Amino acid sequence: MARFGMVIDTTRCVGCMDCVVACKTENQVPEGLCRDWITTEARGRFPDVRLEIRSERCNHCDHPPCVTCCPTGASHVEPFGNTVKVTPELCIGCKACLASCPYDARYIHPQGYADKCTFCLHRVKEGLDPACVAVCPTFCMHFGDFDDPQSEVSRLIASRRGHALLPEAGTGPRIVFLT
């Protein structure tokens, strides 16, 4: 069974936010909310300064705490690509999943249910990339199956240096940032 994930090359990302706009348009994300966002992290002391620009979103974790804490099963692991999804008709809006996510990747949709990135599974099922990946003008984003050693994402992880976000939180995040 596939295990979808993303590899994002931070040496190519310029933080243009095309991915954010594409996601909002594709998924009709309500005004004032976003499923993906840009984080800019600067470290060091001049002149030895390092800047990393990251396009971030739900990490579709291997051990998703949002799924474990959900009292109704609304947050669940979708067999297609082992991705984390929310069923709005099951969600009571208790917000435990928002509190359980170390990446703060979720929000409450104005209609009351918890919402977040879906890896655009509706597009992936049609053989397309997620909207954010498809529009990236620097081609820094890659989507694919982490369990397939021949996939582009697996080869990038094997050949390049990279890191996930907060691996120490123990959630098994499936977005790798190449550095």
Partner 1 sequence: MHEVTVTRLNHLVDPHLHVWAWQIPVYLFLGGLVAGMMAISGWFLFSDRHRRAESVSFLLPALSLVLLSLGMLALFLDLEHKPFFWRLYTTLKPLSPMSWGAWILVAVYPALLGAMALRLPAWLRGRWPALDGFAGRLAAQPRAVRAIAAANMVLGGLLGIYTGILLSALGARPLWNSALLGPLFLASGLSSAAALVHLLARDRSESEFLARADNRFLQAELVILALLLIGLLSSTAVHARAAALLLGGPFTAVFWVGVVGLGILIPLVIQSLAVAHRIRHTAVAPLLVLAGGMLLRFVIVNAGQVSRWGPV
Give the shortest CB-30-to-partner 1 separation in angstroms. 10
Range 22-51, binding partner 1 (CB under 8 A): 32-34, 37-45, 49
C-alpha 54/C-alpha 102 separation (Å) is: 16
Q: Does 16 bind partner 1 (CB under 8 A)?
A: no
Residue 108: which residues within 8 A CB-CB, separation 6 or more? 93, 95, 98, 114, 115
Residue among 2 and 113 whose Cβ is closer to partner 1: 113
Range 101-140, binding partner 1 (CB under 8 A): 101-104, 106-108, 111-113
Give the shortest CB-47-to-partner 1 separation in angstroms. 12
Rule CB under 8 A: choose which of 16, 77, 90, 121 binds partner 1. Answer: 90
Residue 78: which residues within 8 A CB-CB, separation 6 or more? 84, 85, 121
Q: How far is CA 46 from CA 42, 43, 50, 99, in A?
A: 11, 9, 9, 37
Rule CB under 8 A: choose which of 71, 137, 149, 172 binds partner 1. Answer: 71
Rule CB under 8 A: choose which of 14, 25, 92, 125 binds partner 1. Answer: 92
Residue among 99 and 128 whose Cβ is closer to partner 1: 99
Q: How far is CA 26 from CA 18, 22, 35, in A?
A: 12, 6, 11
Give the shortest CB-35-to-partner 1 separation in angstroms. 9
C-alpha 24/C-alpha 40 separation (Å) is: 20
C-alpha 95/C-alpha 106 separation (Å) is: 9
H-helix or E-strand spanning residue 18: helix 18-27
Give the shortest CB-172-to-partner 1 separation in angstroms. 13
Q: Does 91 bind partner 1 (CB under 8 A)?
A: yes
Q: Contact residues for partner 1 (CB under 8 A)? A: 17, 20, 32-34, 37-45, 49, 56, 65, 68-74, 88-96, 98-104, 106-108, 111-113, 165-166, 168-170
